[in-house]
Amino acid sequence: MIDKNIKEANKRKMDYIIKNLEKRGMEGTYCETAEEASKVILSMVGETDVVSWGGSATLDQIGIKGQLSNVIDATKAPPEKAYEERCKTLTADVYLTSTNAITMEGELVNIDGTGNRVSAMCFGPKKVIIVAGANKITADEASALARIKTEACPSNCIRLGKTTPCAVTGKCGNCLTQGQTICAYTVTTRFSSIPGRIQVILVNENLGF
């Protein structure tokens, strides 16, 4: 449980971020809890919308996937069909994901292994809903990248059963190993060219890595 003073500080940060998201063509919503965030997501998804997602510890943690039925789930595809299924996610009406980090100025910073997640964030699905816990907030782009490499990547590599330097030692080794490295693409979303396409839900809890 987060201390009440920390939660209030988080809320003030999130209010500030939401204002900056608006300047960048994105929309932000504040949620006190993960349960509230799930309800907001459901309110954003139409009855006939096809929904997809990439791998996300945050989405697993809030339990939203089990509440949706009209889905394309490329994360469950066998290896020989993974590419084909990931391509299908770009045709979804709604794409759900988290972000590795979000700056106080409203920039979304992500590092991706295959590129399917950041691709969908940039282009394809009509709506992108991003859920981010308080632990994802950073001061700027440089600190966002540092956070990803020291906190997100080691935890994700362990979750995925990788043997990268960060999974073994906890320290990034800038690895270049086929089938192992998850740091292939680094993307900063600083603006949405389609106003309101990207919806960011900020949750006052620590979620994901």
Which string of DSSP letters, residue by residue, matches 101-119?
Answer: EEETTS-EEEEESSSHHHH
Specify the CATH number for the domain of residue 172.
3.40.50.10420
Phi, psi of 50 (to 5 degrees): -90, 130
The neighbour count for residue 51, using CB atoms within 10 Å, is: 24
What pLDDT, on a 0 to 100 scale, did the predictor assign at position 191?
A: 98
Q: What is the pLDDT of residues 87-138, one digit of tens each?
A: 999 999 999 999 999 999 999 999 999 999 999 999 999 999 999 999 999 9
Q: Quick check: is 208 in a domain?
A: no
Average pLDDT over residues 13-36: 98
Query: Domain count of the chain?
Result: 1
Average pLDDT over residues 140-153: 97
Q: Quick check: is 209 in a domain?
A: no
Average pLDDT over residues 175-180: 95
Residues spanned by the domain of 121: 4-203
This model's pTM is above 0.75: yes
Q: Quick check: is 36 in a domain?
A: yes
Q: Quick check: is 152 in a domain?
A: yes
pLDDT band for position 2 (50/70/90)?
Answer: confident
